[in-house]
C-alpha cells in the first residue's frame, strides 16, 4: 500500500479510527485503509511513570508490512504516551519517515475530569492524526494556530485547530511529493 494504514495498537474505538483515516485521506489526498489491530508493546510500559514509551510503539509499527512496503502506518492507542524529555505526548512520528502513533488517552474529555464527549474526542483525534502524519512528510510545527501542524501543549490548543493543513503546509507536502517523484524518475532512468 502506498497510502496510509490506520491501525489500533491494542484496543481503540472503530468509529474514532474511521474518522482519523477520513481526516488523513482528506488532508493529504492519499488513500487510507484500516489495518488489523497490532499487539501493544509490553516493553513500552514504564512503572515509574505509569505511562508508555512512544518510541516503542514506533518500533512495533516499523515492522508492519505496510511500512516495510513503502506506505505509512498510523498507530492509535488508548495508552498515555511519553518521551523521556516530556511529561506526555499526544503522539509521535518519524520525521520524513513511515510511522506515527497517536494516543487517545489525553484527547478524551474524561481524562480532564469532564463528561465523555464523542464529538470532541473524534475532532481531536482527527486533528492529531493529520499532525503526526504531516511529520512523516517532513512538516515541522507551523506558526498558524489553526493549522493541524501547530504545536499543542494542551487540549485547548488542539481544540483551536482544524484537521485541514494551512496553504503553506499543503504546499510543502505537495513539494515533497514532487521531489520524491522526480528522484524516482531519475533513479529509474539509464545513466
The answer to whether 79 and 10 have CB atoms below 8 angstroms apart is yes
Strands 72-77 and 4-8: parallel
Instruction: Give the number of C-alpha atoms closer than 13 A to the C-alpha of residue 161, restricted to the C-beta side.
Output: 31
Q: Report, in this order, helix, strand and coil percent for the chain, each rounded to 5.
A: 45, 15, 40
- Which residue numbers are catalytic? 132
Q: Cα(76)–Cα(40) distance, rounded to whole angstroms?
A: 10
**Three cell numbers, residue 187:** 533513479
Amino acid at each position: 500500500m502506498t497510502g496510509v494504514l490506520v491501525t489500533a495498537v491494542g484496543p481503540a474505538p472503530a468509529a474514532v479510527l474511521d474518522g482519523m483515516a477520513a481526516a488523513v485521506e482528506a488532508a493529504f489526498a492519499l488513500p487510507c485503509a484500516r489495518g488489523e489491530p497490532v499487539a501493544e508493546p509490553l516493553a513500552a510500559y514504564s512503572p515509574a511513570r505509569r505511562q508508555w514509551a512512544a518510541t516503542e510503539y514506533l518500533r512495533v509499527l516499523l515492522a508492519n508490512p505496510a511500512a516495510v512496503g513503502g506506505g505509512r502506518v498510523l498507530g492509535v492507542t488508548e495508552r498515555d504516551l511519553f518521551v523521556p524529555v516530556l511529561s506526555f505526548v499526544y503522539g509521535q512520528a518519524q520525521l520524513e519517515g513511515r510511522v506515527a502513533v497517536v494516543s487517545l488517552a489525553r484527547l478524551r474529555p474524561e481524562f480532564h475530569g469532564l463528561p465523555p464527549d464523542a464529538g470532541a474526542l473524534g475532532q481531536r483525534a482527527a486533528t492529531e492524526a493529520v499532525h503526526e502524519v504531516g511529520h512523516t512528510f517532513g512538516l515541522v510545527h507551523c506558526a498558524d494556530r489553526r493549522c493541524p501542524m501547530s504545536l499543542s501543549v494542551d487540549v485547548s490548543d488542539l481544540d483551536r485547530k482544524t484537521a485541514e493543513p494551512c496553504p503553506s503546509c499543503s504546499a510543502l507536502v505537495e513539494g515533497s511529493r514532487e521531489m520524491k517523484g522526480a528522484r524516482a524518475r531519475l533513479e529509474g532512468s539509464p545513466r
